Structure 1
């Protein structure tokens, strides 16, 4: 892994050389000299890593012999995967080899009488138990048969899905209170409860524990340790740029499904993504993720409307491999099981679960990244420590954390590239935010509220993603025009009189790919007709508010793949304008049309894969010509 560290240093030196005009005389030569020496060292480190991999291969041979002697032929199936084959998402109907067990489980669940029944699915880690049970529980017949289903260990995930924090009373309830509460709710309902990763060893019987201990003492290696070693070989085979990206999954909780857009921005902020001419960093990072998926190191959790990976995770056994190697990049976990006082270098900190971490002991300036996950409470001193002590910090991720403010000390973090307070209670940013000239992502999205941004946002000229902000003044909207690097913008509470100012700002955002605009209310008109040259790279457009007529610049969006019109209340047949868009894949109209007839003409919407028409109260006739909507 040393080669990865050296390669990252080389990669970071290159941008400095480009800025030679800003460097003092003579410094450029020294940078080039250092870069050359590091390239020389890197070649030796690659050779050293190759030798280390040979040692691991010898271990693999021994493990193969152990596998042959200890496991039956039917228990293991070796499958060779060709990473050169283009990655294809596996739909439910394409998963093979589980049909017999799936149907058997479904029959047990649906056809048996309504009584308390326990069904156990057992097997070694990674054999597919969770996948099998998930396929069964997602089946329509099973879903219709039961009133509700519950995955233990995922209750807080449900609260997060509803954009709510889990009630604090849950932690304070006595066992009898919880039992009575659950019993009353489930009393008249059929339900299925899935216990995942439940291990019951020896039933607490002393004789069994002693016997199994004696058996294991005669074994050179435990099978699970052998499996971890085998899985480690996949890690060793990764190129240097993918190793760091893969290890970053260790910053998240086990079985944590991480949003791919979030993950990619975190990789970029950590400078794990190597620049290539003519390709954006996001595209390169997406390719990294696809490679990890192709190698079966990362699993797809959800896909979006075009079939691209929306969220992903690593298997719990892969997570063990990652955790065992986190120190290679100076990553540190602060959790209930690992309440450490960090005295060594900690480049990245992951603060997990209900921990009042001893962050006040961290006074060194080496920390570059902090992620806080699954924490019910964040004391003020933790926030102050994070923003006051770590002057070189690049990433601060507080998504879903119960905080209600960002300290003014954030303005001292000159190197900060990624700041997320998504799904928190933060309602206003400090004025010092305008000092963050290197900030690229500012994620403030929360479904219940918008965040007030002070004047000075125009100074954040490196900003690429800004969501979700309130258009509280024409001055603020005018400042947005200085953000020429924006790729994603989400702006809300736009007044009609400020629409023209926003159009002028949008025309300057030539890199913009995703745009969401909502008015102050459903009745407020979005005045956006005055934009003559819309961003040519725009792929996603969401408009929430009344439109007097469909915007004339929409037909110019040759790259747009997704359009959502909310409360537009158009009277003319807007489909005539939209049907010719060459790359439109997703269209949703919610109270977007008040006419009586919609006509899908022959040859229209040649690529559309998703169409949703909601609350179109005046519609009484829908005409679809032959040859229209070929993919629906």
Structure 2
């Protein structure tokens, strides 16, 4: 099914909307709207057949384009009509005469529908004119896919393209990094898109031999549109060279100098992934000093000239990536196509499968995408795919657009707009699953089915795209669901190309130009130069979405703000990332179609009361360094599903004695939140009067993040939580660490939590008299300031589903702790932080049999590592931060008494803090010291 049919389906959903039905009855335009609905239903039947024929027939393609345009016209008429009706209600103009004298909505909508009727009649007649009367007589060929419930149960989450065929190349590259010249060499991996440059380099970067060889590492994705200053700031933050505030004030030359100074006495490895031009290398190279200690820089690029320019020495020849052999290709294809069968291909499909694989010419991305396409299909569909694959050769370079396009065309109708939407994100962007699903819902791509919510349907859609290798999974959450993803740049190019052709969306780069007067429904602006002026054009008033990504922070002037909120009355999505906004204009209340509003990294302090007019808003994400005051008019937003006043960011590690300032939002007054029955997320809010009599009635809440200032607030919360049976994630904390106020420690009193059967992630901050009873399916637990007197491990190790455990500052006041045999059967990540009285930790053999990552920090009384740690053979990474010198001496490889307990662990990171000056850290390096590595192959799928 084509994207045009998806557009028509979305229009038909709009025409059936109860809000529209109420308006058309009130203003007497029901007959006109019913006529539109009937005509578009008839068109839909023809579109099913046209999808299969338009590729080979320009006449059909032109006819389909006409249908798309008239569908957009109809949507504009309906949305404009609803906007004017809502305006009348909002301004209080209700008298019948005034309605017609002021706006005459019935006359206007009737006249415009008559124009659309004329266009539809012309389109119907054009089928005969074009000689395509037989459209609609054949059966559609689109795939419908499995049911949602089947996908939920049978679709395993796959990682990025399997590593196949490059074992010898990996061995050779390891040698080039760890052996040979002492000068700083540049090792380049060169090849066309889709060959697996990034996959091979990630494998190289995370190889134990490589990690053991270098003192420090960093991985940066450069991409086509880059900002040298922003990239250098990433390095600065990565290595904590200076504080963030200081880094913001430095120019490019000063940033380079700071990084160079930091690296000057270290053997380092830096990866610059996806670098396109010489200028990018020239802007960064001076940050990487050559001090003859064997440091290395790795580049991945499609341009061999860039590689030769970066290191012209003949001994540093670029490594040009080859295509896979036939057998390697077949091996990869089997792994992607028969995932549920562990790569075992039925004999009756092998011959056909090999023929298909041969047409991929050894290109890993093409093989993976075709494998995802064929997974679960019948043999006759395999043969159709074999006949459809064709290759193009342009100036000697193989193009895979036809293979990727084939996979796009095979998507069921409901996935096509979801896939096209991915082109809005910047290149190499790692998008959060909940962020993407919220946007899909706002655009109307998702529809509740059976007992599944919009969010659950969205999770299924995303899972299907991952299964088809159209999206790459990058991180899992603690419940093994999808946390974040990215899209390969070739598939992103396909998405942008298809979207532009269908006027679905346009993507504009950092050229500062106004968008053209196209009929694109969505506009994404990617700005990475803070000096560029953001300009939008009134020639595109019918935009439904504006997404602005301002890398490096960009001020939005007052006039630009007013224009943005006044010039596009039909907006459904307004996404403003990293725009430094000080206030939202009151005109925001006029955007009555708005479903999704996000403003991150702002300086907002208050919201205008007109925000309550956004009665259709589903998602409100606001993030301010000041904390935001929300007016009580928010209680009128009955469609709101997600309210976040502190957008999630990566957590920073803190030593004991530091107070974390959290800019949570304040809900003013006593709004009727109990009427917001759709609310699923309430995150980043202070407790207050708004809780009284209403929090316990928000029975659809799934995610709650709340901060308490008084014990009375905590008690109110304890009463309400008894009714919140749908909670999946709960974060509840007192606002001030009890360490600083010993005489008035705030108690977080909680009832039994075992009735919260859906609760999977829990964070509690505050004094606990005893541990509450937890639900058995809890997968992530964090405790801080709990001041527990009894060893919590005896209770927690019985939680059989627990995968992540964080015992943070002052969560346990005891001196001994023990993990018994068979305890924590599923635990994968354990953090012990600032347990200031802990002296001894015992681990019996057989405890924590699944542990991958152990972090111990600022436990100043802990004398040594437990004996049983040597039996935890699954451990991949150990981090020891800010421990006493005596403790660190015991884990030295050269004679440390505890070395035998940890020598089996591939990655060990030991950091000693000597001084704190403007957040400058000096790291004490041992021979087996490795810096924290976000891209660790074994751990990158595990979310903290």
Once the two structures are superposed, residues 400-457 of structure 1 have per-residue CA deviations (whole angstroms, 9 ceiling, x without a partner) of 33333333332332332222233433343333333333333232356x6643333344
Report the CA distance between 1:251 and its aligned residue. 0.6
Matches within 5 A, 1:74-473: 86-90=155-159, 95-146=163-214, 147-149=216-218, 151=220, 153=222, 154-155=231-232, 167=247, 173=252, 180-195=257-272, 196-198=274-276, 199-201=303-305, 221-222=394-395, 226-327=399-500, 328-337=502-511, 339-353=513-527, 354=529, 355-359=532-536, 361-362=538-539, 364-374=541-551, 376-380=553-557, 381-445=559-623, 450-467=627-644, 468=646, 469-470=665-666
Partner of 2:764: 543
Partner of 1:476: 690
1:525 is aligned to 2:740 = no
Partners of 1:157 and 1:44 in 2: how far apart? 52
Report the CA distance between 1:148 and its aligned residue. 3.8
Aligned residue for 1:95, secondary structure, equals coil
Partners of 2:32 and 2:495 in 1: how far apart? 36
Partner of 2:808: 590
Report the CA distance between 1:352 and its aligned residue. 1.0
Partners of 1:347 and 1:18 in 2: how far apart? 21
Partners of 1:498 and 1:435 in 2: how far apart? 29
The 3 A distance-change label for structure 1 pair 91 and 3 is closer
Report the CA distance between 1:21 and its aligned residue. 12
| Comparing 518-527 and 28-37, the one that deviates more | 28-37
1:494 is aligned to 2:709 = yes
Partners of 1:168 and 1:623 in 2: how far apart? 45
| Comparing 254-263 and 578-587, the one that deviates more | 578-587
Report the CA distance between 1:509 and its aligned residue. 4.1
Is the contact made by 1:17 and 1:31 (CA closer than 8 Å) also made in structure 2?
no
Is the contact made by 1:305 and 1:610 (CA closer than 8 Å) also made in structure 2?
no
The 3 A distance-change label for structure 1 pair 461 and 606 is farther
Report the CA distance between 1:252 and its aligned residue. 1.0
The 3 A distance-change label for structure 1 pair 604 and 179 is closer
Report the CA distance between 1:246 and its aligned residue. 0.8
Report the CA distance between 1:234 and its aligned residue. 1.4
Report the CA distance between 1:569 and its aligned residue. 1.7
Partners of 1:306 and 1:533 in 2: how far apart? 18
Unaligned runs of 5+ in 2: 59-144, 223-230, 277-302, 310-391, 647-664, 667-684, 739-744, 852-944
Partner of 1:60: none
Once the two structures are superposed, residues 251-288 of structure 1 have per-residue CA deviations (whole angstroms, 9 ceiling, x without a partner) of 11111111122111111111112321111222221121
Q: What is the aligned counterpart of 2:4 among 2, 5, 16?
A: 2
Report the CA distance between 1:18 and its aligned residue. 11
Once the two structures are superposed, residues 81-110 of structure 1 have per-residue CA deviations (whole angstroms, 9 ceiling, x without a partner) of x99973343489x73322211121111111
Partners of 1:427 and 1:398 in 2: how far apart? 17
Report the CA distance between 1:531 and its aligned residue. 7.6
Is the contact made by 2:24 and 2:30 (CA closer than 8 Å) also made in structure 1?
no
Once the two structures are superposed, residues 138-174 of structure 1 have per-residue CA deviations (whole angstroms, 9 ceiling, x without a partner) of 334323433343536244556788995895555x546
Unaligned runs of 5+ in 1: 57-81, 205-218
Partners of 1:482 and 1:433 in 2: how far apart? 23
Partner of 1:562: 780
Count of aligned residue pairs for this structure pair = 585
Q: Compute the TM-score of the two structures, normalised by the length of structure 2.
A: 0.56
Larger-gyration structure (1/2): 2
The 3 A distance-change label for structure 1 pair 428 and 187 is same
Q: What is the aligned counterpart of 1:41 among 28, 33, 43?
A: 43
With a CA cutoff of 8 Å and minimum separation of 6, indicate the structure with the bigger relative contact order: 2
Once the two structures are superposed, residues 468-513 of structure 1 have per-residue CA deviations (whole angstroms, 9 ceiling, x without a partner) of 3345563233355565543322222532221122334444544332
Partner of 2:874: none
Is the contact made by 2:479 and 2:760 (CA closer than 8 Å) also made in structure 1?
no
1:514 is aligned to 2:729 = yes
Is the contact made by 1:260 and 1:310 (CA closer than 8 Å) also made in structure 2?
yes
Partners of 2:516 and 2:246 in 1: how far apart? 30
Partner of 1:78: none
Report the CA distance between 1:227 and its aligned residue. 1.9
Partner of 2:879: none
Is the contact made by 2:754 and 2:776 (CA closer than 8 Å) also made in structure 1?
no
Partner of 1:50: 52
Is the contact made by 2:393 and 2:399 (CA closer than 8 Å) also made in structure 1?
no
Q: Compute the TM-score of the two structures, normalised by the length of structure 1.
A: 0.81
Partners of 1:166 and 1:324 in 2: how far apart? 41
Report the CA distance between 1:32 and its aligned residue. 6.6
Partner of 2:369: none
Partner of 1:213: none
Is the contact made by 1:384 and 1:407 (CA closer than 8 Å) also made in structure 2?
yes
The 3 A distance-change label for structure 1 pair 363 and 493 is farther
Partners of 1:565 and 1:511 in 2: how far apart? 22
Aligned residue for 1:241, secondary structure, equals coil
Is the contact made by 1:525 and 1:548 (CA closer than 8 Å) also made in structure 2?
no
Report the CA distance between 1:247 and its aligned residue. 0.9
Is the contact made by 2:703 and 2:730 (CA closer than 8 Å) also made in structure 1?
yes
